[in-house]
A and B are shown apart, each in its own frame.
Chain A
Amino acid sequence: MTAVDALAATDSSDGHTPTRHTLAAKGLRLSYDKKEIVHGIDLELPPGKVTMIIGPNGCGKSTTLRGLARLLDPSGGQVLLDGKDITTIPNREVAQVLGILPQHPVAPDGITVTDLVSRGRYPHQGWFRKWNAEDDEAVAQALTVTNTAELARRPVGSLSGGQRQRVWIAMALAQRTDLLLLDEPTTFLDLANQVELLDLLTDLNRRSGTTIAIVLHDLNLACRYADHLVCMKAGDIVAEGTPREIVTADIVSAVFGMRCDVLVDPVSDTPMIVPIGRHHTNTPRDSESTS
């Protein structure tokens, strides 16, 4: 029985199991080409929860995620994995507990679904380690959970956008990490596929206690699916907490520069942001929160 299965088998009643690894940023500064994008943020990903990072274009949310995933070296401050500076931990060891699905992942021409998902086992294999039963089990489980098993032999390039994204998720799942970061995984997907993907990630979190952090551009889906919401603007974190705590019309207006009403989503009882533009409003009303 693998560690992950054992973890799943000890589910507590609320579905949250304790995870063993923590990821945090302390005074993190990130820059591209000498231009500072993220200005010294402190962020702790609550273990075993789904965290969503939201914010307007250019606020630094993707940059923050890449910094947390050590794809970008900090220009100041630190990223701490289990309390240790992540740059001091060998990359392969990090990859065994932390998985990242970047924006716009690239698949080589002609690669099949099985091959791509199998690449997720690399951190556990090394230069010469051969395939073993655990590797096969991880890949098989990843394919099953993402409903991509029937696509296993097809070239990734021949799949639809929704199918392809599920395959990338399967690769991340095959990696069997305690922490999983995803950068805008729902871009270019239609609504049905977006919801399906987020449900899949929620399954993973509830079943295995995986700590998940997602950069999402859709505010309402973020409010629905997040246990913990982080709201960024211009390289700083302006609000952090559960969606019910922090999502108010004032915050949305301040961060996104947009008037809105905040209602209660009738399906999920989470905050629902209804934007107010210049057209198609029934009566002129001030932006008062109705939560």
Chain B
Amino acid sequence: MTAVTSSDPLVSLAQTRTRGRVRRISVAGGLAIAVVVVFALSLVVGAAVISLPDVLSTLAGQGSRNTNYVILELRLPRAVAGVLVGVAFGLSGAVFQNLLRNPLASPDVIGISTGASAAAVLGIVGLGLSGLAISGFALSGAVLTALAMYAIAWRNGVSGYRLILVGIGLNALLLSVISYFMTSAQVTNAQDALLWISGSLSGRNWNQVVPLLVSLVVLVPITMVLGRVLGMLGLGDDTARGLGVPVGRVRLGLIVAAVMLAGVATAATGPIAFIALLAGPIGRGLAKDGSPALLPSALVGALIVLVADFVAQHAPFLPNLPVGVLTGAIGAPYLLWQLARTNSGGQGG
């Protein structure tokens, strides 16, 4: 920071604020542009490469029968699902990690998304449900898992680390529940099984995207508004309460919102691994100002999902993988690194 600063503290303050605002806008803007670029790429590239002008005219309603099918029925819902799910998981992860003050406290690590998935599988395989009912089941699954985790981890209050351990255990349990449902229902379509275990965008159409969009239209603004106060909670409960923050209510509201975000996203695409885990730290790293960085985290989440899905579909040396396998490949080493770092830092408990 070598810019000339006035010795007048008020002017210097105004400069600092402007600088912060500029940085926030550039980070968010840069990420948004990146998302748009990859989004456009995923509409253009495929088995049949459709040029960008053709894509745009199809979106405007002027496409041929072929491009209409490929763009409007196949690629667009898939790409939109990718963005929405990335935003939802990214926000959910960032909120959880900030509230519990631990980068490991991510809904995908501690079993919230897996719980949503198990409930969705129960709905599909056990009860033959579809559409909105699946979303409802997934949501309930996420909420029930969160409640169960809290209840099991409670011993005169809940310590963050105990919650994470219980969550990891529940995650493993719920994965086996999903596998059980798969085998007992004789799901022979491997894609279906993979969808609910590691998350996939393949075959996602407007039936999944529309309920997701509707849920996010409600949940995202609520989360962002509550998120304005998330930074205050980072000062510690006592200081926050001393500044007039309704700590208990805000925390409850944020947890509920974050759990629901993970739930509705899982309902659409299955629990795409590690988006929630990765988006928060990357978002915070880009923002670099100690804030919870919810908007950058949401955009980073969308970007990771879109890029991973693009690579998973079109990389020359890979078979057509579900996106969750790819994000798992990036996320798992990161998780191991985080775990090792936490332990060596003495926070292993």
Contact = CB atoms under 8 A, between A and B. Distances in A.
Contacts of B236: 102, 104-106
Contacts of B288: 110
Nearest to A124: B244
B345 interface: no
Contact of B243 (A111, A144, A175): A175
A209 interface: no
Contacts, number: 106
B289 A112 contact: yes
Given A127-B228, A149-B12, A106 B243 contact: no
Nearest to B242: A100
Interface in B216-265: 225, 228-229, 231-232, 234-236, 238-239, 241-246
B289 A99 contact: no
- Please classify the interface of chain B as helix (H, G, I), strand (E, B), loop, or mixed, using the class held by over half of its residues: helix
A136 interface: yes
Contact of A106 (B1, B14, B228, B235): B235
Interface size class of A (residues with CB under 8 A): 35 or more
Contacts of A110: 284, 288-290
Nearest to B287: A110
Given A112-B289, A122-B232, A152-B16, A71 B244 contact: no
B17 interface: yes
B231 A91 contact: no
A186 interface: no
Interface string A136-162: 110111011000010011011000000
A114 interface: yes
Max chain A C-beta neighbours (<10 A), residue from B243, B245, B284: B243
Contacts of B291: 108, 111, 115
A102 B238 contact: yes
B10 interface: yes
B156 interface: yes
A119 to B, nearest CB: 6
B9 A149 contact: yes
B37 interface: no
A183 B245 CA distance: 19
Contact of A95 (B12, B20, B156, B243): B243
B172 interface: no
A120 interface: yes
Contact of A131 (B12, B17, B225, B245): B17
Interface string A53-95: 0000000000000100111000000000000000000011111
A120 B16 contact: no
A33 interface: yes
A122 B156 CA distance: 31
A123 interface: yes
A271 to B, nearest CB: 32
Nearest to B225: A127
30 contacts: A71-B241, A91-B241, A99-B242, A100-B239, A100-B242, A101-B239, A101-B242, A102-B239, A104-B236, A105-B236, A105-B238, A105-B239, A107-B234, A110-B288, A110-B289, A114-B16, A114-B17, A115-B289, A119-B232, A119-B235, A119-B243, A120-B243, A122-B245, A123-B243, A140-B13, A152-B12, A152-B16, A153-B1, A155-B290, A175-B243
